[in-house]
Amino acid sequence: MRNAVWISFGIALVLVNVIAEFGEYLTGIHVHMLLRIALILGVTMGAFVLSGAITLVNKMDEEVPLSGRVKDTLSADKKEPERP
């Protein structure tokens, strides 16, 4: 997940600046650096949320059901009480 966030940060950093410079060259409209930084951080946070969601969905496949020894599903497996 950490790699996906760093990769999306790098791609966003490059693409936002290239698009802003190219747009300024064609239209003459300057995009302020604070707006560029906000766009870069927005894309990075979006990638962080989506990669976290994908990680959680993939972890669901690894879950194992509880054994039949529990009386409720809210606690860990309990050992049967020792009988004298």
pLDDT digits over 5-39, tens only? Answer: 889 999 999 999 999 999 999 999 998 999 999 99
Asked if residues 80 and 29 have their Cβ atoms less than 8 Å apart, the reply is no
Range of the domain at 16: 2-60
pLDDT tens column, 58-84: 888 777 666 655 555 565 555 556 666
Question: What pLDDT does residue 69 have?
Answer: 57
Residue 78 domain-assigned (yes or no): no
Comparing CA positions, the residue from 82, 76, 7 lying closest to residue 44 is 7
Q: Is residue 46 part of a domain?
A: yes
Is the pLDDT at 3 greater than 60? The verdict is yes
Residue 73 lies in a domain: no
In a domain, 79, yes or no: no
pTM (2 decimals)? 0.65
Count of domains for the chain: 1
pLDDT at residue 55 greater than cutoff 70: yes
